[in-house]
Structure 1
Amino acid sequence: MDALQLIVVSAGLRQPSSTRLLADRLAAAAERDLQLHGRDVRVEVIELRDLAVHIANNLVTGFPNAELGDALRDVEHADGLIVVSPIFSASYSGLFKSFFDLIDPMALSGTPVLIAATGGSARHSLALEHALRPLFSYLHATVVPTAVYAATEDWGGEAAEFVGRIDRAAGELAALLTLREPKPRDSDIEDEDEVIPFEQLLAG
């Protein structure tokens, strides 16, 4: 069986970033669980901070450049997603939302998604339920029950509850992915933009 494609979208703005750190922890846990189920997986991380200017240009012009186009296709063709945003003003970041505004609204139908977020204090954790979960429900994705929020204090002592939440969420994502056949990749899909000769069209 072909390897599953797990795409991790991190919207952290700094380097190093606690958002990327959480994304990596979740991806490692999901990869471990999938391997325990006998499934091969390829993990790819998309850092939105590296695409910020391209995302803004796409919103204005309506066209992605090659790098952004590749990232959008990777997300749309992913077998599963881990998405992590910092929380600003009780919601996901503008960069995070702008990127997913460019995704085909039906491309993620049924795709398993693990949602996660980071913030300065635990009082922002409800943003996962009133902002991120509704966004991916709108995109028809299958959002795993457990969401993961990491406040600043969670990184100090590696609390058992925090570690357990990472493992539980990753396990739920892995369980959904284990039941899936890998999606067709670009090489398996006929190019929708292929130009058909006019004579061929007339011939039916």
Structure 2
Amino acid sequence: MKLVVVSAGLSVPSSTRLLADRLANATAERTSAEVRVIELRDLAVEIAHNFTSGFPGRALADALDAVASADGLIVVSPVFTASYSGLFKSFFDVLDKDTLVGKPVLIAATGGTARHSLVLEHALRPLFAYLRAVVVPTAVYAASEDWGAEGLAERIERAGGELAALMAGLSGVGPAEAEDDGGLAVVPFEEQLAALRG
């Protein structure tokens, strides 16, 4: 399986990348997924050129192909003006509109204050619902004060477990292999129905 992480952090080091890495670890430890991280700041010029020329450069084309072939996706954006960053949105604007149909996606964001935590529900979740992705129930927001505080690690683990279970269920892995530490498993509907009838 392939897990692709899209990080829209701009600084180095970046709290956005840090959150992306922690979410990737929480997901990968429950699956056999190969992890690839895409840093959007490295693609900013090619994304802009794609808008004006209609064609992606080599690095952008490679990133778009990686997203298309992923079994699961983790997307993390810093909060700019109470929403996701323009660079983050631009990347998904150049992605083919059908690429994410049915693909499991974990959404996350970072910001300077907890007051922007609803960006997950009013901006990111609607964007990926529009793209017809399967967004995991638990979204993760990390404000500056959340790092090292109680609760963030648990949210990361829960979200990673949900994404891992969805990836396993949609790739045909059996229910026993889909279980995580919390007992979460994806059971095909036909099996659930047969168990109820039996």
> Paired residue for 2:123?
131
Describe how 1:13-92 pairs up with structure 2 within 5 A: 13-34=10-31, 40-92=32-84
Offset at residue 159 of structure 1 (A): 2.3
Q: Is residue 163 from structure 1 mapped to residue 156 from structure 2 by the alignment?
A: no
Matched residues, number: 172
Name which structure has the greater RCO, CA cutoff 8 Å, separation 6+.
1
1:112 pairs with 104, 109, 113, which one? 104
Tell me what 1:9 maps to.
Answer: 6
Query: 1:16-39: per-residue Cα shift (whole Å, max 9, x none)?
Result: 0000000000000101122xxxxx
Match for residue 93 of structure 1 among 65, 85, 91? 85
**Percent identity (aligned):** 67
User: What is the DSSP-based 3-state SS (H/G/I as helix, E as strand, rest coil) of the residue aligned with 1:83?
Assistant: strand
Structure 1: distance between partners of 2:126 and 2:170? 23
Structure 1 stretches of 4+ with a deviation exceeding 2 A read none
Q: What's the offset of the Cα at 1:161?
A: 1.1
Q: CA deviation at 1:12?
A: 0.2
1:105 CA drift (Å):
0.9
What's the offset of the Cα at 1:99?
0.3
**Residue 149 (str. 1) matches residue 149 (str. 2):** no
Instruction: Report the residue type matching 1:177 in the other structure.
Output: M
Cα deviation code 1:125-165 (max 9, x no counterpart) = 1011000000000110000000000000111xx22311110
Aligned to 2:182: none
Q: Which residue of 2 aligns with 1:173?
A: 163
Amino acid at match of 2:108: A
2:24 partner amino acid = A
Structure 1 distance, partners of 2:151, 2:6, is 24
The separation in 2 between residues aligned to 1:161 and 1:12, in whole angstroms, is: 22
SS at match of 2:35: strand
Give secondary structure in 1 for the equivalent of 2:30.
helix
Superposed displacement of residue 76, structure 1: 1.4
Provide TM-score, normalisation by structure 1.
0.83
| Post-superposition CA distance 1:54-75 (Å, at most 9, x none) | 0001011111011100101111
SS at match of 2:142: strand
